[in-house]
Amino acid sequence: MKMFIHDVLALNENDDLSIDLFGLNHMVFIKDVLVNGTSRFAELLDGVASGQLKASTVKNIFDLPFSEGLIRSLNMLPCSYLLYYFKQKEMLAIEMGEYYKGGARAQVVQKVEKQLFDLYKNPELNVKPKELEQRGGAYYSDAACEVINAIYNDKQTEHYVNIPHHGHVENIPADWAVEMTCILGRNGATPHPRITRFDEKVLGLIHTIKGFEVAASNAALSGNFNDVLLALNLSPLVHSDRDAEVLARELILAHEKWLPNFAACIEALKGKHH
């Protein structure tokens, strides 16, 4: 999103760009953008909402714009992963089409990675392979190096990371891990002083997803089928308790060899299956 903003506002490398970003991992909203200390958010929001500026996308998310009404009513810019919540019907139709064309996203990524690793076997390779652009996660390597640099060299620079906020954000539980704008240095990440509250307009969705995250984490630790069921039923992307049960059973059995914690659960499921 930072690269997108940099491009659409036609900034140069000497411009100081600061972004007020908040939410959960891969579920963030931008509520302000400052260039050299001056907010240019209204210009950015208007451009994206009207379609004059194309919204930020990542390679593993389809280029489907949010509606002007949604953006203007939020008065924030959602990251493209939020298409799965605000455009569920459209995203499901697209994903089903992609599945019948080339398989599930994970299968597509496996094929791309095999091609990449075959290329990487060549010690003479000195250009970035085009296949890398199909993988998703553009600029992650740059971001990772910048984070390491900021911590090791105590740069005190702005980054967008997941942290336990320890009560810095006033209107969410103090023990939550969140994704937000932070200042990074030798002592780690400090939440940005400008962001002390999450916008009330999206708190409901944030609480819902955090509830799912916590339930899914508890299920992973317990190895209990009912805990998995609870997590899936709390997800806004699962629309039926019957679907949740089928999903839980099929996913656990399909991934048996990676789920030693679920050994007793898997044995019970196999018993029922037979």
- State which amino acid sits at residue 25: N
In a domain, 31, yes or no: yes
CB count within 10 Å of CB 188 equals 12
Question: Which residue numbers are catalytic?
Answer: 81
Predicted confidence pLDDT, tens digits, the chain (274 residues): 788 888 888 888 899 999 999 999 999 999 999 999 999 999 999 988 888 776 454 555 556 889 999 999 999 999 999 999 999 999 999 999 988 988 888 888 888 889 999 999 999 999 888 877 776 666 778 889 999 999 999 999 999 999 999 999 999 999 999 999 999 999 999 999 999 999 999 999 999 999 999 999 999 999 999 999 999 999 999 999 999 999 999 999 999 999 999 999 999 999 876 5
**Can you state the angle between helices 263-273 and 225-234, rounded to 10 degrees?**
90
Q: Which domain holds residue 256?
A: 202-273
CATH value at residue 73: 3.90.110.10
Q: Which of 102, 136, 161 is the last residue of a domain?
A: 102
Q: Measure the CA–CA gap between 8 and 48, rounded to whole angstroms.
A: 9
Residue 182, C-beta contacts closer than 8 angstroms, at least 6 positions apart: 158, 159, 160, 161, 163, 189, 190, 191, 192
84 CB burial (10 A radius; 0-12, 13-18, 19+): middle
Give me the pLDDT at residue 180, please. Answer: 98
In a domain, 130, yes or no: no
In a domain, 71, yes or no: yes
Q: Which of 82, 102, 122 is the last residue of a domain?
A: 102
Give me the pLDDT at residue 55, please. Answer: 47
In a domain, 176, yes or no: no
Residue 25, C-beta contacts closer than 8 angstroms, at least 6 positions apart: 162, 177, 179
Instruction: Domain count for the chain, please give it.
Output: 2
- State which amino acid sits at residue 56: S
Residue 207 assigned to a binding site: no
> Are 35 and 26 contacting, i.e. CB atoms less than 8 angstroms apart?
no
Strands 177-185 and 188-191 turn out to be antiparallel
pTM over 0.85: yes
Residue pointed to by tokens 């959602």: 78
In a domain, 180, yes or no: no
Hey, which residues does 157 pair with through a beta bridge?
184
